[in-house]
Amino acid sequence: MAACCLQQEVPTEVRVIGWLGCAAVVAPSERGAVASDEVPVDESSETGEGSMDDADPADAAALIDLSFPSELACGATATALVTLENTGQATWTRADGYKLGAIGDEDPLLDTSDVRVWLEDDEQVASGERWTFNVPLRAPDAPTDAWTDWQMVHEHVAWFGDSFGLSVPVTCDEANDEEADETDAPLPLPDMAWVVDEVAADHPDWLADSCQDDGGTWQFLDEVVDRLRLYDDRWGYNWKRGVVGDPSQDVVDYHYGSGDHEGSEEVYILDVIVGHCGDSPSPGYTDQTQATADAGTIGIWTGRGRF
């Protein structure tokens, strides 16, 4: 979740009906216009026009989590993460026109001319499943409080599900404008603890057998990493204490910086097995990044030769 205050100021025309962290959940009447013919659509999809009133009852979505920068420097870029659950009956696919849409077909922080964030070509999000969209951001060149708001759209059919928005302050240091333009804001740490819990529930035997010092296997940690990477390929393994060739057996890394993932020290370090090599290991999601720095050591991202 973005590190910002729980209840922000919102535009006067927006009626808030709830909050998820610092994101305002918006009343249905403000959830957006009909998907427009001017909006790019997948040429393989056959879509028709519609309105909010025409929403297929099979289309529904719930906001689960989102990570936006708490602030941005003028001209800086970042990537926001939005996790939604398919609470309807229809399966979301790119070919059928399911996308995350910028409400009003515009957004002050969107770093692309396309006002939709698309699913992968072969991705299918069935009822009850979750998907995390990566939203590319670029701050304006002037200071402002940028209101960014989003909702799922079944292109040329209807907008549907939770509509949500939040304000991201954009600040400029005139003395360092050129430097700010070249600096990417670190990505916030997404809350994906539910993935670790899910793997532990599906494979308790793998968790119990995860201590390789006692003859265990990589199965549990591999499955955690593989499922996390379904949502964001910034997830990977950790070279313990920065020693290349010595992978942590109970830790995953999230690369928050720019550039290549492999070998990056710009990582969040997450302990995902509590009591590893103890009598009763359990799933966890403990951020050890600061503790690692306080100990005078580092983490380094690696795919461990798997990707």
Per-residue pLDDT of 253-288, as tens digits, reads: 999 998 999 999 999 999 999 999 999 999 999 999
Q: How many CB atoms lie within 10 A of CB 187?
A: 24
Give the whole-number percent of the chain exceeding pLDDT 70.
79
pLDDT of residue 16: 54
Q: How many CB atoms lie within 10 A of CB 263?
A: 13
CB under 8 A, 24+ apart: contacts of 7-15: 8/166, 8/167, 9/145, 9/167, 10/147, 10/165, 10/167, 11/147, 14/149, 14/165
Lookup: tokens for 143: 């200071």
Going from N- to C-terminal start, the domains of the chain cover: 16-181, 193-302
Which of 148-162, 178-192, 239-253 has the least mean pLDDT?
178-192
Taking a C-beta distance cutoff of 8 angstroms, is the pair 256, 234 a contact? yes
Q: Residue 147 pLDDT > 60, yes or no?
A: yes
pTM, to two decimals: 0.52
- The set of residues, in sequence order, having a beta carbon less than 8 Å from that of 293 and lying 6+ positions away, is none
In whole angstroms, what is the distance from residue 155 CA to residue 49 CA? 8
- CATH dotted code for 16-181: 2.60.40.10
- The set of residues, in sequence order, having a beta carbon less than 8 Å from that of 176 and lying 6+ positions away, is none
